[in-house]
Amino acid sequence: EARAQTGTSAFTFDEVKAGVDETHHVAAGYDADILLRWGDPLFADAPDFDPANQSAEAQARQFGYNNDYVGFIPLEDSDKRGLLVVNHEYTNEHLMFPGIVKIVDDKLEVAPADKKRVDIEMAAHGGTIVEMTRQDGKWRPDRNGKLNRRITATTEMEVTGPAAGHDRLKTKADATGTKVFGTVNNCAGGVTPWGTYVMAEENFHGYFDGDLPANHPEAANYKRLGLPDSSYSWSNFYDRFDLSKEPNEPNRFGWIVEVDVMDPNSTPKKRTALGRFKHEGAESIVNKDGRVVFYLGDDERFDYVYKFVTKGTFNPDDRAANMDLLDEGTLYVAKFAEDGGMTWMPLVHGEGPLTAENGFNSQADVVIEARRAGDLLGATKMDRPEDIQPNNSNGKVYVMLTNNTKRADDQVDAANPRAKNAFGHIIEIAEQDGDFAATTGTWEVLLKCGDPSVADVGASFSTATTENGWFGMPDNCAVDSAGRLWVSTDGNSPEATGRTDGLWAVDTEGEARATSKLFFRVPVGAEMCGPLFTPDDETAFVAVQHPGDGGDDWEGFGRLSYYEDLSTRWPDFKDDMPVRPAVVMITKQGGGKIAV
Ligand code: FEO
Ligand code: CA
Ligand code: CA
Ligand code: CA
């Protein structure tokens, strides 16, 4: 199919040049200030970051590792006060701890973890809630904020919704099946219309080790989720991460977690009505009938796109009345038809194949094994669904599909149109009659990603897109207040694309549709998360995740790897400081809306 020939981008900024080096770059005329970095103290009494003498106690009072989702919740006097909420998806031991790495036969070897290290890792996971104040157009975190909070892999949480208290969630430590400690691998997320923070539990399988007892009934459930994976050593010190000792613990992860940020002592809730899978994000929109619709990706090759529609309606005048909206509603899984139509199929116990004959004895079983329910309904197997963003300005929904190099020629379909899809694509959904709760809609491919100058790639950026403007591997995204789409990426690298990850502005309307421009790029080894625009569009927050990550060419504390001639100590550039994931604040010099 031909690439669009025309179009002047609606985004007014001069593009950054794509490439790779040790630092970040933003479009000319903009400031990119480091707002919060791993280890920054979040409370008046929190210790300063001391990377050579880190402790779990200190880490639990400091900004966590690998910032991913970034959300903003306005407070009273909202152009000067707000809450920043940030997910800390995972930890990179080889970049965090000095002296644990050596090179053996050209390969990186990481020393086995002791309990102290595991405890620091657990404290570096989860999320951060921090008050910010704005002065002279720039936001600053407030260490004295009364709402400041760290959530970690040990924070007590309550399970609510259809799976709460079910036998499959009961453990030796919790006979009620309702009390879980911690959240892990919180990738993207969302802020609800009623001002709570939702965290998606993505690759939770990596924290579990050990073998299930023989013939255990969860064997097929866990296999479908890749459990166990044992990327971490937590099971050596905490039995609950060992399947042979606590076979039900993995059923207590893989959920959407909701946090009431206005009460720093509130118990976060795992909202099981939204299903259990490798949750990427949970962006939402208030439908015209007042129900709230959450779009949910399951980030795995050949897994599904979901949405959840609340039963109750949003009450803008009574925050308390909304606080349990996520416990009742309908979870749907998407089927993309070849003709551009689509169906949202309900995952409801007793309907269709979701019956006792197929092992679904209640709605609890349906949500615990949402993937298997989707399998039986014939949902469309997608190329790794990541962040999904509804757009209130035009009624559309954007689905980031990051890549799937394992799709074979005979597995290609209209919604996943490329075999060995290395660079991913973006689908645009139009719900029926602009009704986000509709069970039918239409869709089209907005963009096939990758280098459009390489014919074999089959990318579909408009011809107005420059050599800097194309990207691969869309991951997180945001829609600004003007309804414009911004896409951040995960997987560009000097080897794959000759460029780092970054933030691109993508036209969706008119003749410029499928034109893309590079606004910000990350230092070597990093991926780009966030992004998030404040309601006035005057500030963009982006999250630089795992800067300096490489692999097997390590030369010591804070050095990276894959890139032999490059190293970075971003953002401090000090010999005694490791590379540090950080949230960056972007503002226009002299003030004003971004890219307008
Ligand atoms: Fe954590 Fe799907 O990216
Ligand atoms: Ca992601
Ligand atoms: Ca998003
Ligand atoms: Ca990612």
Give per-residue pLDDT as tens, 230-262. 889 999 999 999 999 999 999 999 999 999 999
* Residue 497 to residue 403: CA distance in whole angstroms: 14
Angle at 291 between CA 290 and CA 293, to 5 degrees: 130
**Residue 554 pLDDT greater than 70, yes or no:** no
Rg (CA), the chain: 23
pLDDT tens per residue, range 397-407 = 999 999 999 99
**Residue 157 pLDDT greater than 50, yes or no:** yes
Polymer length of the chain = 596
Q: Ligand 3 centroid to 529 CA: how many Å?
A: 9
Q: Is 66 among the domain residues?
A: yes
Look at residue 350 in the predicted model and tell me its pLDDT. Answer: 98
Q: Is 236 among the domain residues?
A: no
Token pair in block for residue 110: 């990481």
Token pair in block for residue 470: 């194309």
Residues 370-396 have a mean pLDDT of 97
Ligand nearest to the CA of 542: 3
Look at residue 578 in the predicted model and tell me its pLDDT. Answer: 87
* Residue 154 to residue 524: CA distance in whole angstroms: 32
Identify the three-state secondary structure at position 109: strand
Residues 267-285 have a mean pLDDT of 98
Token pair in block for residue 398: 């954007």
Look at residue 105 in the predicted model and tell me its pLDDT. Answer: 73
pLDDT band of 551, cuts 50, 70, 90: very low
Q: Is 113 among the domain residues?
A: yes
* Residue 80 to residue 585: CA distance in whole angstroms: 15
- Does the interface predicted TM-score (ipTM) exceed 0.95? yes
Ligand 1 lining (C-beta closer than 6 Å): 89, 187, 202, 280, 299, 386, 475
pLDDT tens per residue, range 347-367 = 999 999 999 999 999 999 999
Could you give the C-alpha distances from 162 to 5, 310, 511, in angstroms and in order?
51, 14, 47
pLDDT tens per residue, range 323-334 = 999 999 999 999
Counting DSSP H helices and E strands in the chain, the numbers are 6, 33
Q: Average pLDDT over the chain, rounded to whole?
A: 94
pLDDT tens per residue, range 122-145 = 999 999 999 999 999 999 999 999
Q: Is 248 among the domain residues?
A: no
Domain count, the chain: 1
Q: Is 225 among the domain residues?
A: no
* Residue 245 to residue 508: CA distance in whole angstroms: 51
Say which DSSP state 518 is in: E
Look at residue 19 in the predicted model and tell me its pLDDT. Answer: 92
Say which DSSP state 512 is in: G
Look at residue 5 in the predicted model and tell me its pLDDT. Answer: 60
Look at residue 496 in the predicted model and tell me its pLDDT. Answer: 81
Q: Is 427 among the domain residues?
A: yes
pLDDT > 70 in the chain, percent: 95
Neighbours of ion ligand 3 (CB under 5 A): 387
Q: How far apart are the first and last CA of the chain?
A: 32
For residue 540, the cross-strand partners are: 533, 586
Q: Ligand 2 centroid to 203 CA: how many Å?
A: 10
Q: Is 224 among the domain residues?
A: no
Nearest to 569 by CA among 16, 23, 141: 23
Say which DSSP state 119 is in: H
Q: Which atom of ligand 1 is nearest to the CA of 278?
A: 2
Q: Is 87 among the domain residues?
A: yes
Token pair in block for residue 73: 């919740």
**2-6, 15-19, 246-250, 485-489: which range is least confident on average?**
2-6
pLDDT tens per residue, range 439-462 = 999 999 999 999 999 999 999 999
Residues 6+ apart with CB under 8 A from 53: none
pLDDT band of 4, cuts 50, 70, 90: low
| Domain coverage including residue 366 | 25-202+254-314+332-588
pLDDT tens per residue, range 54-76 = 999 999 999 999 999 999 999 99
**Residue 565 pLDDT greater than 50, yes or no:** no
- Kindly state the helix (H) or strand (E) to which residue 58 belongs, with its residue range: helix 56-59
* Residue 586 to residue 524: CA distance in whole angstroms: 19
Look at residue 104 in the predicted model and tell me its pLDDT. Answer: 76
Query: Taking a C-beta distance cutoff of 8 angstroms, is the pair 361, 384 a contact?
Result: no
Residue of 438 and 498 predicted with greater confidence: 438
Q: Which atom of ligand 1 is nearest to the CA of 297?
A: 2
* Residue 375 to residue 356: CA distance in whole angstroms: 16
pLDDT band of 101, cuts 50, 70, 90: confident
Q: Which atom of ligand 1 is nearest to the CA of 187?
A: 1
